[in-house]
Amino acid sequence: MTRSAVHLLLFIGLAPVSLFAGNGVSAPSESVPSPHAPYVMPAGFVSGVDYNANTVIIKLKPEYQTLFATADHLPVPFKQLMNQIGTRSFAKKFPHKSPLTTRKNALGQQLVDLSLVYELTYSAELPVEKVVNRILQMGFAEYAEPHLIPHLDYTPNDGLLSNQTYLNSMHVPEGWDIDKGDTSVVIGITDTGTDTDHPDLMNNIAYNTADPINGTDDDNDGYVDNYRGWDVGMNDNDPQWEALTHGVAVSGLAAASTDNSEGIASPAFKCRFLPVKIADNTGSLVGAYEGIVYAADHGCQIINCSWGSSGYSAYNEDIVNYAAINKNALVVAAAGNTNKDEAHYPGSYKNALNVAGYNNDGRKGSYSTYGYTVDIGAPGTSSYSTIDGGAYGSIGNGTSYASPLTAGCAAVVKSHFPSYTGLQVGERLRITADLVDTVTGNATYTEKLGAGMVNLYRALTDPDAPSVVMSDENIDDHGDNIFVVDDTLWISATFTNYLAPTSNLTATLSSPSSYVTITDNQTLLGALGTLASTDNSGDPWTVVIDSGTPQNTVITFVVDITDGSYSSKAYFKLTVNVDYINVTINEVKTTVTSKGRTGYNLPNQVEGLGFVYKDSSLMYEGGLMLGISSGPEVSDNMRGATAGNTDEDFASVIPVYQVIPSLKSDFDLAGEFNDAPASVPLNAHVKHKSFAWTEAGHTKYIILQYTIINEGSTAWSDLHAGIFSDWDIMDYSQNRVATDAAHKLGYAYSTQASGIYAGIRLLTGGPFLHYAIDNDGTGGGVNIYDGFPSSEKYTTLSTNRDTAGMRDIASVVSSGPFNVAPNDSVVVAFALIAGDDLTDIITSSDHAQDKYDWLVGLPTQNPWSLQFGDIFPNPGKDQIGIRFELETATTLSFEVYSVSGQKITKTKPVKYAAGAHQETLSVAQLAAGTYVLAVRNDKMVSSRSFILRK
């Protein structure tokens, strides 16, 4: 229910394999899988604490379901991987789930097919990310990821409290005058277990009378004797708490028996609760999200989750969506206890109700997480509830306690409005909450504490009103979708109305940021019925990224949704003016950054494409290294001296930018960086350029050129410069790397059938060096698993090692030594190449050499002496005129580019004589906006911008 947010080194990754060799099964119609972004473990996560070691959750794409129907007919590459990693188990996560017969519900929302979800455990000592990314690259998985373990959201407090004043804060007693709930409405308490003998809990458990405790699965639901709930963490029928009593308190806050002359009252009053224990015998929440499935499948209309973590998971979001969309349940979740502005899951998933913790007067609890993903709040301070042993007492502070209070109120709302879906129940609570932004002490958190304090009375009595939720933001720059300065963005979203119809709905976009100009801020959505959806793709908002915007700026956007007296807000974020650019114009795709990395902008495969060929990334990590022997001293942004660390020696001076229009290739990039941040800098300043082409014979490589300037006072007598690349091609454990000195080429390849090849060729004239690396140090080479210190980096830059493999490998292609005086420079250039076999990459490397030789031979003066007059009219509409003058005859073509550099039109080349000329160019097919006109011959280009108004 949250308003969803939008949110190099030269190491080389994983590639696709055929899933159908030798398994007797025909391939789906789309036999080439789409590439996956690599999985990255959330920062700071610890194995066994934040995720299960050696465990992978896999969801199949529906078209591959039949390939995994039986263990005997698994795809051959997957079976090979299972053998390599020592698979202990591979089984359906929810074996009783049948495949869906329909994919969407009546609202058009995507249903979740849990029959596609599997769990794999293995014994090999391999990082789980390696196994996950290997599976992703096979192409059959919608997602693959570790099994994350959430944590309880409470803060202990030894103080005593003798009453429940928090009920008054939520106007619960007044609400009971309207409706006390119904025993048919059940709250699923997914937690550490309950106290099944507690006098204030035992009578409010939703007992499953269809399956009494007799050793038989009487109701045939796959669970034997689940009479009083289930222990998902231990897979038995006893939901009694074991290691932690947290769930006892949560059960009482949500649904303790009320008006029974015993103990405490709960908001749910007559509603029941189903205890679903999700912890093992140590208290670890090993079955948290599986517990949501159990609760949803067993009739819980409200599901409470007083736990969570900061790590996003596609599998976990699938579970929340399954409960909300497939089962129409409301997932209520704690916002977290970090006292930070951050997302906390499951609460921050868009189909959950995210509950912050307040003091009784509406002030933010000092512990509570906050942010735009918070939906609502409830008291979570000095809470008082049931405790073990049939007793009662103060249980402390935490959003763990705000969440069940909200869940209890939601149960009464569901009782009062029995036709509501779970999402409608949540929206009813949200639009009737009491605003807390104006409460003393909350000014710092304005708009980040949700709609306000739960008010049960208002939720039951307020007049009908709309409740419109925005989701699925779509942002397009009509170009490369790398959002940089001067780009115009067209933004649209989906709007779903969960409650009363609207008549004149509008959505207005704004931003507190000073770095964007919103040029069209409003869209009219009009009438929108209950449970109806629409979007504004036909009337998008438009936004311009202003000059002077810093690199990697996060822009917050606010959408005011109004219809008469109804108003609501939605929020999303967008990172703009990124300091990297994706190169995607030919058969190889990669990312060029502003600080020496290639493939990915940040360590651990964050922000970037890798190095992609045939829809799969071949690159794990990669980038430029510069070294001199004294010390030795090496500057780079590669992995560091100890495992898990990264050197950050290079810093951007001029961020990478696209040269528009391109002057030398079909996609020119340029930028500058230096090594000022290094602990022992070389005083190097690097001007880098990148070139890529679309013409035949030149589509399987890109060229990287580095001009390295000595800005120090001491000469370099032994400089080496090279590209380090960690290759993961198809199955990384079956990779080899070799040397072709005649072609100045270091290359890597997979030994599997139809294995892909990739390589790096030195294009400049200095000495060629290639060091092949067995990543684990086998055979006496450097071992980069345990770290990559400068001494080892210099070894790989300055010496030869011709071959490595068959295993996880890397390589360094370099040149040197160079003698570079102060204020002097040296140029080194490389081609990054991919292909189907060795002949293919050698051919492409020769073409790259030819192209580079042509590049460096370009004249520096304009040989055609073109005088570009003007473009008229400017602004224009359906056609523009062009005036220019030539001193010598030449052949010209005219090209129109978007402001992001995307070529839109090109005329056929025409021979022009010397003298003045005027041409007319039709632009009727172009939308309104700003464009660049380029006039080009075979050597040079000139350009001017123009504007169209339609």
Structure tokens belonging to residue 946: 């123009």
Residue 603 class from Cβ within 10 Å (0-12 exposed, 13-18 middle, 19+ buried)? Answer: buried
Alpha carbons 749 and 836: distance in angstroms, whole number:
9
Alpha carbons 527 and 529: distance in angstroms, whole number:
7
DSSP string for residues in 218-254? TT-SS-TT-TT-EETTTTBS--B--S--HHHHHHHHH
Instruction: Write the DSSP symbol of residue 854.
Output: H
382 Cβ contact list (under 8 Å, min separation 6): 157, 159, 161, 394, 396, 397
Cβ neighbours of 600 (radius 10 Å)? 31
Sign of CA dihedral 282, 286, 290, 296: positive
- Longest Cα pair distance anywhere in the chain, in angstroms? 104
Residue 938 class from Cβ within 10 Å (0-12 exposed, 13-18 middle, 19+ buried)? Answer: exposed
The residues with which 474 forms a beta bridge, in sequence order, are: 492
Alpha carbons 544 and 136: distance in angstroms, whole number:
36
What backbone phi and psi angles, to 5 degrees, belong to 84?
A: -65, -35
135 contacts 17 by C-beta, under 8 angstroms: no
Selecting among 115, 309, 348, 400, the annotated active-site residue is: 400
Cβ neighbours of 420 (radius 10 Å)? 21
151 an active-site residue?
A: no
Cβ neighbours of 504 (radius 10 Å)? 12
Instruction: Write the DSSP symbol of residue 624.
Output: E
Alpha carbons 546 and 550: distance in angstroms, whole number:
10
Alpha carbons 245 and 755: distance in angstroms, whole number:
55
Alpha carbons 604 and 157: distance in angstroms, whole number:
39
Structure tokens belonging to residue 77: 């590459």
922 contacts 879 by C-beta, under 8 angstroms: yes
Of the candidates 806, 648, 605, which has an alpha carbon nearest to the alpha carbon of residue 130? 605
Q: Where are the alpha helices (DSSP H) in 386-421?
A: 399-416
Selecting among 147, 171, 198, 246, the annotated active-site residue is: 246
Element (H, E) at 922: strand 915-922
246 an active-site residue?
A: yes
Of the candidates 651, 650, 670, 652, which has an alpha carbon nearest to the alpha carbon of residue 660? 670
Instruction: Write the DSSP symbol of residue 78.
Output: H
Structure tokens belonging to residue 882: 């062009």
594 contacts 652 by C-beta, under 8 angstroms: yes
Of the candidates 764, 765, 783, which has an alpha carbon nearest to the alpha carbon of residue 773? 783
373 Cβ contact list (under 8 Å, min separation 6): 2, 3, 5, 335, 343, 344, 347, 348, 354
DSSP string for residues in 329-374? -EEEEE--SS-SB---BTTTSTTEEEEEEE-TTSPBPTT--BSTT-
Selecting among 50, 153, 182, 191, the annotated active-site residue is: 191
Crossing angle of helices 76-84 and 128-138, rounded to 10°: 170
Crossing angle of helices 422-431 and 399-416, rounded to 10°: 110
191 an active-site residue?
A: yes
349 contacts 316 by C-beta, under 8 angstroms: yes
Of the candidates 78, 73, 54, which has an alpha carbon nearest to the alpha carbon of residue 141? 78
Write the single-letter amino acid at 516: V
Alpha carbons 941 and 934: distance in angstroms, whole number:
6
Of the candidates 279, 202, 275, which has an alpha carbon nearest to the alpha carbon of residue 235? 279
Catalytically active residues are 191, 246, 400
